[in-house]
């Protein structure tokens, strides 16, 4: 497959003002997207949503101009969670959806994510097609065929109702006190409404965006603020979203962090007990081995894929399964939505809590995470570590040493010249020794 120039593991991302995150590139990108998705003789429209970064205004205007030049109508949603754009792209029967966001990164960064008409992440072929158009100069269509722009004023309300529709009508959060951390990001308007309208007593932090404070010491990558708020308010639990709302982590009532691996286990186990799991569970190469062992102990199938929610979704579709996710809190529930959704995932965890009659503490305690050691080895150029016979042999020896209750992983970073060395098992001292030995091998073997 042709190597892509701009697209990374999740769209296009970088520092604002540095190529390709510039206004002129975004105008060109809007035009290229319009060309790639335009269908002759059919109505063509693209939705644009964004998080709360100040630079979002600039890039929204540039993308709008490029799409209009391609003869494509634009529907502007304003600040909305990434999964909301996926949902609204489907409901508006749009050609595609665009999200202006750099997720959990600071405000200095920004990026672009895309959704197909079905509300799913683009496959490699579509990304390559967009890049093919980026290699061509912008050509404005006939003035009479230019695209128009419309603002969708009821987008937040539509999405709130969608989130509520993913749980049973009789589901209620009455009697539960929840603290929400919206990361000063895209969930700040809609998340409090969802949980309040379902009956919870809601306290909110991280819901005062100023364009510069997104993810700043709040949100799913900075849990201390939420941990303090849960303790101070005596809440039942805390829910933390990232800047664009496609991830969720939680804080238990005792202040313990509950990560994506544990949330995935909680949902899967309760669905299994209720007979609603519909197949197995998909994790990634980084999913804690404790999840796999605990699920297998219940008779639940488990498979791993490359890191990235798009790969989780692809395997779920292939298998006809419904549930998968990553430790970062990016969970995929195919029977609820077409992409990772922090609010919807949180509701599924709370549904498990209510259905089981247990606390989140009780549910997460049924699975024990195994100790894990990660070492990043910097290399001159990225390379496939398994292309080196000496490293492949070293991995075989390490796995034999750890046995059936441990594993090792060598993985090239998709964004940096790093080889990630991970070891996991029951004996913490042994896995650290194994990881250090492998890291030394990688260091000696690098180009």
Active site residues: 103
Task: Tell me the CB-side half-sphere exposure of residue 415, using CA atoms within 13 A.
Answer: 10
The torsion region of residue 108 among left (phi > 0), alpha (psi -120 to 50) and beta comes to alpha
Residue 370 Rama label (left phi>0; alpha psi -120 to 50; beta): beta
Inter-residue contact 313 to 120 (CB < 8 Å): yes
**Cα–Cα distance measured from residue 405 to residue 368, given in angstroms and rounded to the nearest whole number:** 13
Say whether 79 sits in a helix, a strand or coil.
Answer: strand
Q: Is the distance from CB of 302 to CB of 281 less than 8 angstroms? A: yes
Dihedral Cα 248, 254, 257, 263, nearest 10 deg: -50
Token pair 């197949």 is found at 279
User: Which residues make Cβ contacts (< 8 Å) with residue 218, sequence separation at least 6?
Assistant: 181, 182, 183, 184, 205, 206, 225, 226, 240
- Residue 141, CB half-sphere, CA atoms under 13 Å: how many? 20
Which of 285, 267, 286 shows the shortest CA–CA distance to 276? Answer: 267
Q: Which residues does residue 284 pair with via DSSP β-bridges, in sequence order?
A: 305
CA distances from 436 to 90, 224, 407, 429 (A): 48, 30, 14, 11
Residue 119 region, left (φ>0) first, then alpha (ψ -120 to 50), else beta? Answer: left
Tell me how far apart the alpha carbons of residues 109 and 102 are, in angstroms, rounded to a whole number. 6
Which three-class secondary structure state does DSSP give residue 198? coil
Cα separation of 24 and 385, whole Å? 38
Residues 243 and 246: their CA atoms lie apart, in Å, by: 8
């Amino acid at each position: 497959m042709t190597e892509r120039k701009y697209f990374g593991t999740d769209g296009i991302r970088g520092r604002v003002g540095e190529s390709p995150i510039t206004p002129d590139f975004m105008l060109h990108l809007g035009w290229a997207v319009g060309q790639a998705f335009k269908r002759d003789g059919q109505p063509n429209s693209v939705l644009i949503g964004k998080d709360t970064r100040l630079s979002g205004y600039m890039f929204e205007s540039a993308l709008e101009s490029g799409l209009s030049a391609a003869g494509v109508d634009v529907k502007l949603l304003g600040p909305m969670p990434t999964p909301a754009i996926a949902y609204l792209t489907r409901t508006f029967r749009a050609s595609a959806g665009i999200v202006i966001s750099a997720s959990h990164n600071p405000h200095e960064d920004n990026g672009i994510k895309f959704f197909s008409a079905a509300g799913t992440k683009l496959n490699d072929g579509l990304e390559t097609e967009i890049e093919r158009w980026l290699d061509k100069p912008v050509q404005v269509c006939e003035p009479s065929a230019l695209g128009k722009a419309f603002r969708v004023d009821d987008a937040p309300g539509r999405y709130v109702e969608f989130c509520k529709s993913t749980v049973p009508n009789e589901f209620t959060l009455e009697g539960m006190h929840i603290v929400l951390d919206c990361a000063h990001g895209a969930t700040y308007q809609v998340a409090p409404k969802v949980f309040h309208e379902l009956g919870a007593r809601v306290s909110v932090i991280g819901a005062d965006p100023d364009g510069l404070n997104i993810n700043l010491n709040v949100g799913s990558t900075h849990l201390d603020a939420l941990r303090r708020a849960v303790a101070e308010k005596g809440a039942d639990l805390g829910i933390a979203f990232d800047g664009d709302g496609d991830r969720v982590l939680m804080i238990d009532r005792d202040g313990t962090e509950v990560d994506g691996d544990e949330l995935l286990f909680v949902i899967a186990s309760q669905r299994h007990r209720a007979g609603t799991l519909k197949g197995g569970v998909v994790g990634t190469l980084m999913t804690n081995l404790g999840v796999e062992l605990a699920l297998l102990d219940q008779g639940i199938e488990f498979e791993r894929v490359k890191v990235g929610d798009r790969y989780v979704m692809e395997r779920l579709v292939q298998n006809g399964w419904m549930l998968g996710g990553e430790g970062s809190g990016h969970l995929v529930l195919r029977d609820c939505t077409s992409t990772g959704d922090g609010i919807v995932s949180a509701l599924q965890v709370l549904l498990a809590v209510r259905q089981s009659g247990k606390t989140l503490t009780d549910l997460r305690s049924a699975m024990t995470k195994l100790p894990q050691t990660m070492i990043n080895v910097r290399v001159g150029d990225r390379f496939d570590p398994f292309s080196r016979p000496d490293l492949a042999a070293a991995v075989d020896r390490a796995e034999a040493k750890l046995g059936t209750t441990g594993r090792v992983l060598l993985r090239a970073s998709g964004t940096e010249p790093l080889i990630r060395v991970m070891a996991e098992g029951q004996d913490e001292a042994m896995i650290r020794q194994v990881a250090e030995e492998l890291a030394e091998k990688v260091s000696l073997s690098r180009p």
